[in-house]
Amino acid sequence: MSAFDAQDTARWFRECFEAVRTQVAQVIVGQNDVVEGVLVCLAANGHVLLEGMPGLGKTLLVRTLAESVGLGFSRIQFTPDMMPADVTGTNVLASSPTGDRVFEFRRGPVFANMILADEINRATPKTQSALLEAMQERSVTVGGTKHTLAEPFLVMATQNPIEQEGTYPLPEAQLDRFFFKLLVPYPSKADLFEVVERTTGSASAEPQVVASSDDVLRMRQTVRDVPISRDVLDFALSIVVATHPEGEGSSAFAKRYARYGSSPRGAQAIVTAGKVYALLDGRFNVAREDVKKAAVAALRHRVILNFEAEADGVTADQLVHESVKAAEIGKADPIGV
Amino acid sequence: MNPVAESLDRFRKRVRWLNAWRGLAIGVCVGAALASGWACLDWARIWYTNWRGLGLLACLGGIAGLVAGLLRRVPDEALARSIDVRARLKDRVKTAVEVRPSTTVFDRPQSEDARRALESVVPESIYPVRLSRWHIAALALMVLAASIFLLGNSPVVHGPKTPSERAELKVAGQKVERVAAPVAEAAQKAQAPTGTKLASDLTRFAQELENGRLNREEALRKANDLAKQAEQEAKDRADTAQQRAQQAETALSKYQAKLAEDSGLKPEDLEKTNLTPDQEAALDQAMRDSGISAPAPQLSSEQLKNMGLTRTAERLSQMTPNEREKLRQAAAVRQAAIQKEIDRIDKLPPAERKAAEQERARLQQQLRDAQKLGEALKLTDEQMKALRELMQMPEMKQLQELLAKMRQKSQQMAQEGKAPTKEDLEELKKQIEELTQAMKDPKAREEIRKALEDALKQMQSGKMSLDAMQAMMTSLGMIPSSQQGQSGSSDDEGAYGKTDDDSFANTGRVNKSQHEMETKGQTSPVGVRGQWRNDKGEEWSVSVKAPTQVGNRSSVPYQKVLPTYRKAAEKAMSGGKIPKDQEKRVKEYFESLSGGK
């Protein structure tokens, strides 16, 4: 690929990204950061966990996104009585054309390109773990048969921070499989005005399909080609290491408040997301700013705070911010003239 | 090569200059810190300095820092990172420098992007010239060094010296400093450690005077010590010069012996002319008997000795062959006569022979002397001619004279402290060159020349010490300026330091029959302006008022000795040895001792 082709590819990436965003924006009012985060996950081939109060448009966002890129979409509403087979699908007894009775695999909702796992924390761990294989391996195994999922495959799970009664918080291993955890805030008054106006009137906006599954796959490949310097990589890794409660490079804040730090997947998520941000910024390289931008969303669900943190009201976001600050120490201008 | 790396060159150049700018400040910091330390040492009178020294230290530090800054390597990666940070290029340059082309599809566009970004950046804008903390520290340290130096040299710190005294001592210090330099140079040439130390002490003394660190009393005392040191140094040089002259003489003797041998005069032949006084007398007798008049001596005994010759050899060589033949015949006749007389005694009866035994022994001795003389007269005419030529070689004579002159000058310097004049030394040098040039044997010539030149060098070094001493004493007013250049002459005996009839000028010591003794108690110097005893103009003399007991307490009541001293004082006044202005003071002194009687 020549330099001009590469530039065209980068431009196409931005245009494609912006086109999808524009379509989503026609339906979703505000929530720009959340929308961008979800699109970054789409481009970076990572799953996303959305956390926010009910009624903030999480489900709508995911559905609109699926429609914009013309991908298969399915929604799974997790409940405590839901079984794994309800997610993955199951073998049912059916008649063959010859009249024989045979087991036939009936696909579950996970067999779609985009999955909305609504209120994922309401399902039992057993059911949650059914999704685990699908998210990591991009396949499900039922009755000893492995069924590969279609690409692109993206799980967008939601959970709300209230109504914790009767919920099953996601285990750390499963949380780690989410690329980003995005917090969906309340809309501003202006955004709320817009939301109410749109949803209570007769007109309804229908998003257009502006990208295909091939486009998504091409976007993912494009992201992987963005170069990153050793310095920036070192910076990203320093952030991850700084979240660890012990070991070389851990920050004082983490030593005090972290029970567990981020896994290597956190570093992978930061770097990959950084590459997306770099392309969106019109650059061909990852900058520290990109890494910093990605750090909170990529690490907030990967660090586990200790009791002291809870007692002091320290949040995971604070810990990540402090880790970023710790990683920045000593990385200033090496030529002090 | 990475195209971005080329674009970094102008930034690298800028960074080098800024490194040099910072290195300059760091260097000046170090230099100024050292200068501050030096200024402290100066204040503590341990190691003196001046503005030039302090400035030089700071400058050297600055230059070293500047060069180190310029030569400091600026790695591409560090530079790229720095540009990214300063120009906010979002890691474009660093990535472009690191990433190898054609690794991924975005490498080339990324590199192009970085290059374009670099082109839009002006090095001066992201690397401006600034005053850093180092620069401020450098300035502060320089001010500190200057302050310490100024304070250390402030009159306030160094006691109540009058400005005029300071000015006077400063001028003296400058004069002393001027004489210290040639002393150091001469000492270095002569490879004399004591001379080097003297020069160093003189320099230090000069600095102390210039910096106003000494009052008059201390200055005079120190000058006195240095004068002794200089005198000793001059003596040592003179001794060494004499040793070298001796070496030259030995070498010359060897050379002459070789010349004689080359001319057919073997050492055993010359030995034949080595006669005892009786044999000399026999020769005189023989000459008288033959009617030969004694020739006038051409060479001194010393010269003859140095040439390995005898007076007899000189006399014989001055005779004609006929005269020598006459002498030989006369000697033979005399030998025959003595032998005849001995034979006669031998033929006497035993009793008579025994009585004549003493006479026989005397005759036998005369016979041996005559035989020895006969041996000396057997030297051939050719040998005599060679001997004559050897003695008449002009350069030998001149060399002998030169050696004698050098020895004399060295002796004068060692014993009387009298240095040869510059003209003397130049003449000696010229003579050494000319005379050694005339010698044919290169080995002997080199040996003699080297010894003589070394001796001359030692004399020059000694002269420097004496001159320095003279100049130092003159500049401090311890000897009158009218006597400058007369060091070592009989007139200036006792012009400085200890004398027979004078106290040490302001040294805290009092003379007593050449034996200095420490005064007991605090001395109080009093400067008295008067007239030099030889009426050569006005002069400062400094007397020391100290407690009267010097050494052990005297058991003789002073009334008993007072008349003697009073008489001596009156005699001195009548002889004009005491300045007129001071006569009244002397009178009052004695009157006070004798209660006005």
B384, part of any domain: no
Q: Say if B19 is an interface residue toward chain A (CB within 8 Å).
A: yes
**Nearest chain B alpha carbon to A223:** B106
Inter-chain touch B106–A6, beta carbons under 8 Å: yes
A93 close contact with B: CB closer than 8 A: no
- Choice among B167-171, B390-394, B571-575 with the minimum mean pLDDT: B390-394
pLDDT digits (tens, 9 = 90+) for B461-509: 888 878 777 777 777 766 554 444 444 333 333 333 334 334 344 344 4
CB B362, CB B282: distance < 8 Å = no
Architecture in CATH of A3-199+209-221 = 3-Layer(aba) Sandwich (3.40)
Best of B90, B92, B133, B135 to mutate (most A CBs within 10 Å, chain A): B90
| Full 3-state SS string of B365-410 | HHHHHHHHHHHHHCCCHHHHHHHHHHHCCHHHHHHHHHHHHHHHHH
With a cut of 70, say whether residue B46 has pLDDT above it: yes
A288: contact with B, CB 8 A cutoff? yes
Half-sphere exposure of B205 (CA within 13 A, CB side): 32
| pLDDT, averaged across chain B | 78
Least confident of A143-147, A309-313, B435-439, B482-486: B482-486
User: Considering only CA atoms, which of B391, B405, B551, B418 is closest in space to residue B485?
Assistant: B418
**CA distances for B165 relative to B211, B524, B529, B538, angstroms:** 12, 16, 14, 18
B203 and B120 in a common domain: no
Q: What are phi and psi of B111, to 5 degrees?
A: -60, -45
Spatial CA neighbour of A126 closest among A175, A158, A161, A82: A82
Domain with CATH 1.10.8.80 in chain A: 226-328
pLDDT band at B158; cut points 50, 70, 90: low
Q: Alpha-carbon dihedral of residues B471, B472, B474, B476, nearest 10 degrees?
A: 160
A6 part of contact set with chain B, CB < 8 Å: yes
Instruction: Give the burial class of A185: count Cβ atoms within 10 A of its Cβ; 0-12 exposed, 13-18 middle, 19 or more buried.
Output: middle
Q: pLDDT at position B508, please?
A: 42
Is the predicted pLDDT of residue B211 greater than 80, yes or no?
no
Q: How many other CB atoms are found less than 10 A from the CB of residue B550?
A: 18
**Is pLDDT of A268 > 60?**
yes
Is residue B198, in this structure, part of any structural domain at all? yes
CA distance A4 to B232: 93
Cβ(B263)–Cβ(B390) under 8 Å? Answer: yes
> Is B330 in a helix, a strand, or coil?
helix
In whole numbers, what is the pLDDT of chain A averaged over residues? Answer: 88
Together in a domain, B373 and B282: yes
pLDDT classification of B128: cutoffs 50, 70, 90? very high
The answer to whether the CB of B542 falls within 8 A of the CB of B506 is yes
Chain B, 82-101: which have a CB under 8 Å from a chain A CB? 82, 85-86, 90-92, 94-99
The verdict on B238 and B335 lying in the same domain is no
pLDDT at residue B597 tops 70: no
Work out the pLDDT band at B511, boundaries 50, 70, 90.
very low
Q: Do residues B309 and B189 both lie within one domain?
A: no
Q: Are residues B406 and B327 in the same domain?
A: no
Residues B117 and B31 occupy one common structural domain: yes
**Looking at chain A, which residues constitute the CATH 3.40.50.300 domain(s)?**
3-199+209-221
pLDDT of residue B219: 80
Q: Judge whether residue A41 has pLDDT over 90.
A: yes
Provide, rounded to the nearest whole percent, the portion of chain B with pLDDT above 70.
83
Q: Could you tell me if B7 and B107 lie in one domain?
A: yes
Residue A311 pLDDT > 50, yes or no?
yes
Average pLDDT over residues B14-33: 94
> With a CB-CB cutoff of 8 Å, which residues 202-261 of chain A face chain B?
225-232
Q: Give me the CATH topology for the region A226-328.
A: Helicase, Ruva Protein; domain 3 (1.10.8)
Domain count for chain B: 5
Q: Give the angle B585-B589-B595 at the CA atoms, nearest 5°.
A: 135
The amino acid occupying position A160 is: N
Q: Residue B426 and residue A283: Cα distance in Å, rounded?
A: 87
CB contact under 8 A, B105 and A7: no
Distance between CA atoms of residues A152 and A135, nearest Å: 11
Q: In B251-297, at which residue ranges do the beta strands (DSSP E only) sit?
A: none
Residue of chain A whose Cα is closest to the Cα of B131: A337
Most confident of A65-74, A315-324, B271-280, B548-557: A315-324
Contact residues on chain B for A12, CB-CB shorter than 8 A: none
Among B154, B191, B208, B252, residue whose Cα is nearest residue B449? B252
Range of the domain at B577: 556-597
Most confident by average pLDDT, A264-268, B185-189, B536-540: A264-268
Polymer length of chain B: 597
pLDDT-derived band at A237 (thresholds 50, 70, 90) equals: very high
Query: Does an H or E element contain B45, and which?
Result: none
User: Are the beta carbons of A7 and B90 separated by less than 8 Å?
Assistant: no
Q: What is the mean pLDDT of residues A231-235?
A: 92
* Per-residue model confidence (pLDDT) at position B475: 73
